[in-house]
Amino acid sequence: MSVQTKQRVDIDDVQRKLSDALGPGYRVTVASGSTLKVGRTGVIPAKVKFIRSDGRTVFKVCTTGLIVSRIIQVCAINPRVRHALKKSFPTTSPG
């Protein structure tokens, strides 16, 4: 699932806002110019990929790693990351 914002955002702003919204139990790091890694200690992090176009940004929260890590990401990490993105940036879709 994806979250679409009404604005273009840069990776540093997303990293900062996600870190603030998720709290100290989560680590948010830059993986590339358009990808963040978000995770908890001991779990392979989920990825947040984003595409900027037409004054908007689309975030896609993706699972990575082995089956066990993917299950943890889908059940615990990804929903919280999506919620934090929606809370931090005005959205244009229910995503």
The structural domain count of the chain equals 1
Ordered mean pLDDT values, 10 residues apiece, the chain (95 residues):
86 94 94 92 87 90 89 91 91 59
Q: The domain that contains 33 carries what CATH number? A: 3.30.310.80
In a domain, 19, yes or no: yes
- Is 82 a domain residue? yes
Give pLDDT, residue 93. 56
DSSP annotation of 33 reads T
Q: Which residues contact 91 (CB under 8 A, 6 or more apart)?
A: 3, 4, 5, 6, 85
In a domain, 58, yes or no: yes
Give the domain range for residue 43. Answer: 2-88
65: in domain: yes
